[in-house]
A and B are shown apart, each in its own frame.
Chain A
Amino acid sequence: MEDRLNRVFSALADPIRRDMVARLAADDATVNELAEPYDVSLQAVSKHLKVLEDAGLVSRSRQAQRRPVHLEAKVFDLMTAWIERYRRQAEERYRRLDALLAAMDDSTDGTRSPDQERGAS
């Protein structure tokens, strides 16, 4: 799992690949459609796609002639969920810091607790 996540993060390390993923989040697209906005060869785009595929971020339909590229939302969601959880925990800490800063007067002491009622649960 960790190894897979490493692949995910490195797959997203490239700006073109990040952009592709963002576009695929809206809708499936063919290789040609994906390649259109970029000033790179179709081969280069295929290479980028291979990296995204190996990381499990995208899959390509085997049946349809167009072989549209599809974003595997599950992997992506997991990562996003982790980052969001981490962010929320940081936000929770910083809201406590907000309260502390508000309770600190500008005197030299500044050690008055904003939540002296807090139980040690």
Chain B
Amino acid sequence: MSTTTHETTIEAVADVPAIRIVREFDASPEKVFRAHVEPELVKQWLGPRGLTMTIDRWDAQTGGTYRYVHRDDDGEYRFYGSFHEVRPHERIVQTFTFEGFPDGVALETMTFTDLGDGRTRIVGSSTFETFEGRDSALASGMEIGVNEGFEQLDELLARS
């Protein structure tokens, strides 16, 4: 077994309207960071499977902005925000708004920790203004087949 599988852990923080996600990767912080800031890489993994992700803007530097669209047969879902801070290989702080809820905004921080041996842990937190906003974000996940494509991915991982 050359491939390790790292399951995502998630926590809906109880006393503040936040969601925290922790995940480890078999790649250096530099690589994982690049996959978060370079639009050509971002669009290969960020969008839900079965949806087309189109990036209108992705200026991942401190003070930059982003905007992207997910399309499926039912319509379009647009998201936008600002990059408050982009600290190479260490930290990304951004705002996040789903245009379907224009009054809602989340503050998202992502930290990249070097675990050594070419491994990286990311800790992402999304903090919402209200519990209602957090709960609707949790509840409104688009229905997608979670097992879709897992076999292909496992193959890909096993080959590398």
Contact = CB atoms under 8 A, between A and B. Distances in A.
B10 interface: yes
Contacts, number: 130
B157 interface: yes
Contact of A90 (B10, B40, B44, B148): B10
Interface in B20-54: 21, 23, 25-27, 31-32, 34-35, 38, 40-41, 44-46, 48-50, 52
B14 A87 contact: no
A92 B135 contact: no
B141 A85 contact: yes
B23 A101 contact: no
Contact of B157 (A86, A102, A104, A106): A102
A106 B139 CA distance: 38
Contact of B153 (A18, A95, A104, A110): A95
Contacts of A18: 14
B23 A94 contact: yes
A120 B156 contact: no
Interface string A1-29: 01001100110111000100000000000
How many of chain A's residues touch chain B, expressed as a range? Answer: 35 or more
Nearest to A117: B152
Question: Nearest 8 A-B pairs (CB), nearest first?
Answer: A102-B160, A87-B10, A96-B45, A101-B27, A91-B8, A99-B156, A13-B15, A97-B45
Interface of B: 6-10, 12, 14-15, 17, 19, 21, 23, 25-27, 31-32, 34-35, 38, 40-41, 44-46, 48-50, 52, 131-132, 134-136, 138-139, 141-142, 144, 146, 148-150, 152-153, 156-157, 159-160
Given A97-B45, A98-B25, 8 more contacts: A18-B14, A87-B10, A94-B25, A96-B153, A99-B156, A104-B41, A110-B34, A121-B50
26 contacts: A10-B131, A12-B14, A14-B15, A83-B138, A85-B141, A86-B19, A86-B141, A87-B8, A87-B9, A89-B142, A90-B10, A90-B23, A91-B8, A92-B48, A92-B144, A92-B149, A94-B8, A96-B45, A96-B149, A98-B6, A99-B45, A99-B153, A101-B25, A102-B27, A104-B27, A114-B44
